[in-house]
Amino acid sequence: MKHPIQQKIENLRDTLHKHNYEYYVLDNATISDYDFDMLLKELQALEEAHPEFADENSPTQKVGGAVTKNFETVVHKNRMYSLDNSYSKEDLLDWEKRISKIIEGEITYTCELKYDGASINLTYENGVLVKAVTRGDGVQGDDVTANVKTIKSLPLKLQGDFVDNFEIRGEIILPLDGFNQMNLAREEAGEEIYKNPRNTASGSLKLQNSAEVAKRPLDCLLYQVLTYNNEFTSHAQALEKARTVGFKVPETIKVVSSIDEVVAFVEYWDKARFDLPYETDGIVIKVNNIRQQEELGYTAKSPRWAIAYKFKAEQVSTQLLQITYQVGRTGAITPVANLEPVQLAGTTVKRASLHNADQIALHDIRIGDEVYVEKGGEIIPKIVGVDLTQRPADSLPTLYATHCPECNTPLVRKEGDAKHYCPNEYGCKPQVSGRIQHFISRKAMDVDGLGGETVDLLCDVGLIENYADLYALTYDTILNVEKAYDSEVSGLVYQNKLQITIENAIFGLGYANVSKRLASLLASKIEAIQDLLHTEYTLEPKDAEVLGKFKRIFKHRYEIVLKQNLSEFVALKGYVSLSDFLILKFNGKEKGANLFDTSFDELLNASKQIKYVDELKSIAVFEDKYEKFNETISKIANRRVVGIRETGAKNIIAGIKASKQIPFEKVLYALGIRFVGETVAKKLANAFKNLDALFAADFDTLIAVDEIGDRIAESIIAFKNEPLNQVLIARLKEYGLQFSLSEEVLQNQTDTLSGKTFVVSGVFHKVSRNELKKLIEDNSGKVSSSISKKTDYIIAGDNMGPAKLQKATDLGITIISEDDFLEMV
């Protein structure tokens, strides 16, 4: 018999779980907020007085309080795939045609909104939440259970009977009203506002104190249930049942039976989405029947049974100020448009991809053009056109870069390639750093404690030149290594003058202690900094007082500048030149004191040559005065000191040591062989078992491996023949990395099914479809998604489609049962 206090605590928990569900999921509160708070306080007091009756899924957990300094990385039991995108009815018809070749009979679809937030995978056991893991890279993510438990609409304990053990996936979002309220509070506190709900929701999950997460009005919308014993026949049925036990499954989901109905759903929500309380960027269409989903399976990246329809991206126009060029880890050159900052889909866009020389030529994109910008798939900004009516009369065609912007090596472009490349593979800094960053990445060597910024630091100070050098690092060699990085003041050089954004100039001038938030607000309404003197603003009293003081100081300084004819203030729209800024900052002090011994003409001429802040130190006019305005320049430049301290040094060395246990297929991927991605690396590792065998294989042997084509084979041969790579591999072997499959993996692998192709169809009971496919591959067989003359066996489970059975019979293909197959292996 339970203790009376324990029974009271459990009754209170059940009551509060029920009220949470009614309020946050059903939107139908049956008690007042005050009464709810009183019950919660009563429960908290009882739990504190009787810790022996603690429950990690008590409603009191929604208040938060747990502190997580490091989020544990967890491998997903079921991989979280990304979705293929579509943008038209034709794309959807093509998708329907592809899946109809694999499955037979009637197909129904579910249509649901594509929520714009942070994906989460939740694990429930015996009706209670036990783990919440972010999507991460799809294979593994971060354990954020303590933070997710604070989300009011998410049940910690289910309200009724459901599957005993299951996973459920959803999107953690920040509703627009809550997001706006958060920003109002931040504005009042003089803090920088959040840019958009999506990034804020995602960032909330990684806050270290769950009590802070609890203060944020996060919500969780669920969209997929994964069970282990096929408890549901359809996706819609699973979600409907999930809704009844406490999960917030949106009512907008709809089951349809044709692509025309899908299109009608898309067209409706393309307009109605703006009335939703949260952001959405498209529609997700899924095959509803779970058996058909299993039949369709997955590609290397996406489920075949689902596709996303993306709404047309928002488009704005702005001025193209400059074209710069970036170098990737493979040497690929990407042209980047530097734009006059503009608001687009909730973020400030300053840069956009121009893709390659062909795209620039196609649109005849030129510096100074008014260009149309949109976010491709609502994520990466891109230029999609030019407003030729706004083109300046003196406009000149863009001449694409001929030399690498980093190492000045002449660029090359092979026939058939869209991009130009820098061939200085082992001497070009971004390529060197990029290969090391790829090597340490999560899908590769997964070196904890090391990130791109730290890799750049270690390269810059000469401690590493390649990924093998990582294993020679010691705690003592990296402790307190640091470097100061000065970005260009505004990231823009125009007509050989460094330009500062007006927002940063107002903040950097510091008159009347103007805040970054207020500086941003003031800059949003003016095109030149002197416009401040005659622009009216509607501000809160506190801000109005600051602006009044700012204007008085600015007017005084500006008049001195005009009297001395020191500057014309003819700056680019939205910018101030560095020389103008320095004059306003350091001239016109009390009694007209001048911080500089030299003339302002000399200062003006010197500033024309300044490109990076560090160069100020070497310019004679600033030699003795640098420290006096170093802090100001650093503010504007976002000057950063990157360093490795005691804890960081320990974590890096521990991460490098732990990476020696990473399995062979990931090491192979980490080497960065061109065209050898994650999936190809696994196939090669399974085919050759170790690196020596792989590198001993000739061209014909390589292309004989399933899905290994000419380009991959040629790339492997080129990599192994490079003398520097041979040295690196030899060093990595000495350091103890895994260059062969482990004994444990090899024990589970045979050549029993070598040369045989299998199709898996139907529902199975002893092992899952995925386990069957893994058994085929572990025994050197090939899994195919469709029946053809090349198919050797069909493993038939329950409910195998009659058309598939007929096709197999017509082609004379052997049909075996689950038991038959298990006997084979």
Same domain, yes or no: 474 and 515: no
Is 171 annotated for ligand binding?
A: yes
Q: What is the pLDDT of residues 716-763, one digit of tens each?
A: 999 999 999 999 999 999 999 999 998 877 777 788 888 889 988 877
In this structure, which amino acid lies at residue 233?
T
34 known member of a binding site:
yes
pLDDT tens digits along 546-585: 899 999 888 888 887 676 655 556 556 777 877 677 777 7
407 is in an annotated binding site: yes
Averaged pLDDT for residues 174-190: 83
Q: Are residues 207 and 85 in the same domain?
A: yes
| Residue 730 falls inside a structural domain | yes
| pLDDT confidence of residue 599 | 47
Considering the domain architecture, whether residues 515 and 581 belong to the same structural domain is answered as: yes
Question: For 39-80, what is each residue's pLDDT tens digit?
Answer: 777 777 777 777 777 777 676 765 555 556 678 888 898 889
Which residue out of 114, 375, 551, 682 is catalytically annotated?
114
Is residue 286 domain-resident? Answer: yes
Query: Looking at the structure, do residues 286 and 179 belong to the same domain, yes or no?
Result: yes
Please give the residue that has the higher pLDDT: either 637 or 507. 507
| pLDDT score, position 10 | 78
Tell whether 36 is in a known binding site: yes
- Answer yes or no: do 109 and 222 share one domain: yes
Q: CATH code at 406? A: 2.40.50.140
**Scanning the structure block, which residue is given the tokens 């989020």?**
71
- 487: confidence class by pLDDT, cuts 50, 70, 90: very low
- β strands within 85-127, DSSP E: 85-86, 109-115, 118-125
For residue 616, pLDDT beyond 80: no
Q: Is residue 248 part of a domain?
A: yes
Give 464's contacts (C-beta < 8 A, 6+ positions apart).
Answer: 436, 455, 458, 470, 473
Quick check: 615 pLDDT over 70?
Answer: no
818: CATH: 3.40.50.10190
**Residue 626 predicted with pLDDT over 60:** no
104 marked among binding-site residues: no
Say if 68 falls within a structural domain.
Answer: no
The pTM is what? Answer: 0.63
Q: Which region among 326-340, 655-669, 724-738 has the lowest average model confidence (pLDDT)?
A: 326-340
126 and 17 co-located in one domain: no
Say whether both 656 and 802 belong to one domain. Answer: no
Does 737 lie in the same domain as 798? no
**Which residue do the tokens 């504190």 mark?**
48
Q: Is residue 91 part of a domain?
A: yes
* 28 confidence band (pLDDT: 50, 70, 90): low
The one-character DSSP state at 488 is -
Q: Looking at the predicted structure, is the pLDDT value of residue 663 above 60?
A: yes
Q: Is 135 annotated as a binding residue?
A: yes
Does 429 appear as a known binding residue? no
Quote the CA–CA distance of 226 and 204 in Å, as a whole number: 26
CA distance 804 to 100: 12
- Check whether 286 is labelled as a binding-site residue: yes
Local structure of residue 336 (DSSP, 8 states): E
pLDDT (average), residues 332-344: 87
Please tell me which of 452-456, 492-496, 594-598 the model is most confident about, judged by mean pLDDT: 452-456
Specify the range with the lowest mean pLDDT, choosing from 94-103, 185-194, 468-477, 704-713: 185-194
| 193 shares its domain with 267 | yes
2 is in an annotated binding site: no
Nearest to 112 by CA among 300, 351, 307: 307
Query: What pLDDT does 428 receive?
Result: 93
Alpha helices (H) in 525-570, listed in sequence order: 541-563
CATH number of the domain enclosing 451: 1.10.150.20
CA atoms within 13 A on the CB side of 325: 23
Average pLDDT over residues 780-790: 83
Query: What pLDDT is attached to residue 341?
Result: 81
Asked if the model's pLDDT at residue 339 lies above 70, the reply is yes
91 labeled part of a ligand binding site:
no
Contact 588, 509 (CB under 8 A): no
HSE at residue 60, side-chain half, CA atoms within 13 A, is 23
Domain count across the chain: 7
Residues 121 and 260 in one domain: yes
pLDDT for 345 beyond 70:
no
φ, ψ for residue 726 (rounded to 5)?
A: -65, -40
Q: Is 589 a catalytic site residue?
A: no
Residue in this structure with the two tokens 């899952």, named with its chain if needed: 768
37 is in an annotated binding site: yes
Q: Tell me the CATH number at 211.
A: 3.30.470.30
Q: Which of 287, 115, 319 is nearest to 218 (CA)?
A: 115
Backbone torsions φ then ψ of 754, nearest 5 degrees: -55, 130
Q: Mark whether 462 and 549 lie in a shared domain.
A: no
- Whose CA is closest to 154, among 138, 136, 131, 176? 131
Query: Which residue range is the domain that position 607 belongs to?
Result: 492-638
Over the chain, what is the mean pLDDT?
83
Strands across the sheet containing 118-125: 128-134, 118-125, 165-173, 219-227
Known binder of ligand: residue 459? Answer: no
CB 293 within 8 A of CB 237: no
Name the pLDDT band for 624 (thresholds 50, 70, 90): low
Span of 113-122, 346-355, 737-746 with lowest mean pLDDT: 346-355
Residue that finishes a domain, picked among 254, 284, 310: 310
Q: Kindly state whether residues 600 and 695 are assigned to the same domain.
A: no
What pLDDT does residue 6 have?
80
Q: For tokens 């959405």, what's the residue?
A: 280
Residue 316 inside a domain? The answer is no
